[in-house]
Amino acid sequence: MKYVFIVQGEGRGHMTQAISLYDILASNGHQVSHVIVGKSKRRELPDFFLNQVKSPITQLQSPNFVTDKNNRSVDVFGTLSTNLRKLRTFLNSVRKIDEIVKDEKPDTIINFYDFLGGLYFILKRPQVKHIALAHQFLLNHSQFEFPKGRFYDKSSLLYGNRLASYRADKILALSFQKMKDEPQKKLFVVPPLLRAKVKSQQTSQGDHFLVYMVNHGYSEDVIRFHERHPDLSIHCFWDKKEEKKELKIDDTLTFHQLDDEKFIHFMSTCKGYLTTAGFESVCEAMYLGKPVLMVPVEGHYEQACNALDAKIAGAGVSSEIFDLEVLLEYLPEHKNVGEDFRDWCKSTPETFLQMLT
């Protein structure tokens, strides 16, 4: 079969999921003929994605979150107003998707939670199968547990799910643990899309902590912790594109630009992992048996949901402050869920081939 991917380029998770699914499909004789990635001015498409996806890649301007002046929290009003001002740009992106689809004539479009994909199906109504794929769709499940309060945020996120999955034939919800399918909603719960590179890693416990931040404003918190604990080794990954590839503060604190192989190496050998509460890297930590501290980006309700969901699944602990002190205190009580999680992930290739082919 022939596929076109539409991938959200915000953060790292959707891109690594796309790489994993690309490999599963290609190794079973299917073709991903084109990959469309939603982009924004503040993020560069990382080399690991460009190097591992062998199909033509087209980057298009897509709706994205706007952060505050310190690059820490989500500016809700700024996000809405900025994206509305760019509506004409996004409509041009939709037209470009339509040109690619008409040229490629795929059997199926797989949308990794980019709102451009939803807009495309709303405006162009193509006669092609649509699969919507993301962890966010687990929020549509009747048994999903939401953080308390924040009704407006919950409603907005569920509306975003409707947009990203518009006219979807199947909605595939990536999950930390098994849950029942709800086919009446076209909703199917599937295991994480971890890449072979993660699954083949040998794990050990080194003397360092690993940090990954979507917004580089959190670097100030890491530096403050480092000043209190200069003896603890920290490797921190960010996407502050104006900095060099490796910024060595001193012997025990280094900031790295996103480098997938290096990141996985430090993940497999770390004592613990601190991250803003995305889905994919938390899955990697669970698979490798590493305790996680999850700190949702301020104002980012989806990450608050992720953090609660991962905590219930046994990944680790969540906090409102980006402080390794919380992880240090948590380490003695962590129970490793790696074995159960790895069992859940064993079914990934078979499940996706059954769902998609």
pLDDT (tens digit per residue) in 146-161:
988 788 888 888 988 9
Which regions in the chain score pLDDT beneath 50? 73
Strands 253-257 and 272-275, bridge-based pairing: unpaired
All CATH 3.40.50.2000 domain ranges in the chain, comma separated: 2-193+347-356, 197-344
pTM: 0.87
303 within 8 A of 279, measured Cβ to Cβ:
no
At 233-262, the pLDDT tens digits run 999 998 787 788 899 999 999 999 988 889
Question: Rounded to 5 degrees, what angle do the CA atoms 179, 181, 186 make?
Answer: 140
Query: Is there a contact between 90 and 116 (Cβ–Cβ < 8 Å)?
Result: yes
Query: Tell me, which fold does domain 2-193+347-356 have in CATH?
Result: Rossmann fold (3.40.50)
Rounded to an integer, what distance in angstroms lies between the CA atom of residue 12 and that of residue 17? 9
In whole angstroms, what is the distance from residue 87 CA to residue 164 CA?
Answer: 16
Tokens read off for 97: 């998707």
b/e sequence 159-183, b meaning 16+ C-beta within 10 Å = ebbeebbbebebbbbbbbbeeeebe
d(CA 19, CA 13): 10
Model pLDDT, residue 42: 61
Altogether, the residues listed in the chain come to a count of: 357
CA angle (80, 323, 283) in 5-degree steps? 70
Beta bridge partners of 210: 235, 273
Q: Return the pLDDT at 77.
A: 59
What angle do the packed helices 338-345 and 280-287 form, to 10 degrees? 120
Architecture per CATH, 197-344: 3-Layer(aba) Sandwich (3.40)
Which tokens go with 107? Answer: 């059997």
Given this model, what pLDDT does residue 41 score? 65
Task: Give the model's pLDDT for residue 295.
Answer: 92
